[in-house]
Chain A
Amino acid sequence: MERVYLDNNATTIVDPAVKDAMDPFFTRMYGNPNSLHSFGTELHPYMKIALDRLYSGINAGDEDDIIINSCASEGNNTVIKSVYFDSVLKSGKTQMITSSIEHPAVSKTYRFLEELGVEVLWLPVNKDGIIHPDTLRSAIDPDKTALVSIIWANNETGLINPVQEYGEICRENGVPLHLDGVQAIGKIPVDMKKVYADFMTFSAHKFHGPKGAGGLYVREGNHITPLLHGGEQMAGLRAGTVNTAFMVGMGYALELAVQNLEFEAVEVRRLRDKLEDAILEIEDVEIIGRRDIRTPNTILASFRGIEGEAFLWDLNQRGVAASTGSACASESLESNPTFVAMDIAAELAHTGMRFSLSRYTTEDEIDYAIDAVKKSVTRLRGISSTSNNEYI
């Protein structure tokens, strides 16, 4: 076995069927969909199918919008800054609420708004690693709060937040709710008729679609100030020529992902559990977060005495790709904020290692990875000064 890819929360392989579906739009049907001539209009049926797939994939209402954009970072920026322009600058709401375990696309956008004088509340997680609904309930202030932004499923832990309850709380208080749905879509059911969120963002490359394509769901009745001004694309809500190929690819990828949700819940989970059980056989290992509230593809584990970057390096030498939030593996020497917020395992910020599977992960790959993990642990604990004492 040459290489095993267990970093599917970072990105996924494009489904070959999705690639085939995108192919005609590069050299054959390359028109600009806003042109009135046939090169433009011939694209419309395909774009309609893509929208149908996207709307049904997340069970959006026909009166809602799904704005096609470049990525979830763009979607998150659009929502947060739009609410800043519309509610904070114009209608006098002064506070915005988010959590301590957000992806940088959300957290750094809020840090930026903090510099502009917005009061931002950073909700903590409970012992299970999720934001308890009561935490949100006590923080929200209908007179002050302009927006609540919370991650649906966390990218590092896979832990799923009780978003349905957030929706109810926000609705009762008349405060819009923005969910970062990137790690939920394609892993667990996402139903915007059940979850009352006003905004929800997603990214195609996390569910076997192309990189550079994303979607922003906007519930009927919500206003969006565009992040990108310009042409009239996306009903004037997002300027920029629509990337037809990627839009088609994202639509098809979402349809396939939804069709595979059962496979994800059973087969991907089975392989994930197999890897997780094998990891748990290793001494001094802690798995972060209960399985029943975690996406079926994700494991975040802390291996006592093994620093994350060294582990990642060693696994990479053995052909296994995973991910660590260790400060030592960061360009800025900063620990991953989610790891810091997750006060579950004291050493997590240094020893956390994430394995994330996809529906393309095979049993052979998991067997190989189990062997590689065990060998790496043995080698690195042989070097380690802390694996069997209480020094740290």
Chain B
Amino acid sequence: MTQQLEHGPSATKDTRNTAVTEPGSGPFSYRDLARIDEALTLSSKETGLRFTLYVGDLGRDTRAFAEELHSRSGGDPSNTVLVALSPGQRVLEIVTGTAAARRLPDRACALAVLTMTGRLGAGDLTGAIVNGLRQLSDSAGHPSRRRAH
């Protein structure tokens, strides 16, 4: 654990450099990308769950689409949490795998959704993503600390 923490700052620095130097045509500025990347990586590292973020159209049946995305999100899907948002449709979906759902009950997800939609309604995409991820990782807690209880 200590070792992981020691590697934290270097990972952050690395992240920032790549985000700034790589060109991007997406909806986010370099600064936003750096923040999102940091939030994704840190929350994944803290909780031991794998957080992925999808931004784009979710089709007509947004839930089914998000669940299909979750099923092919790579890694171990049961340990994966997918945050999918479709700004065009103004829909946000959080999908948890079987192992992740034990750590992140639906109520915790709903709370994160509430936080995020509040910011999304104000047009703050990056803030919504970063704060939503932070709230999700806070709810999930640390794997070893949870095991101790």
Q: Do A and B come from one complex?
A: no
Partner-B contacts on A (CB < 8 A): none
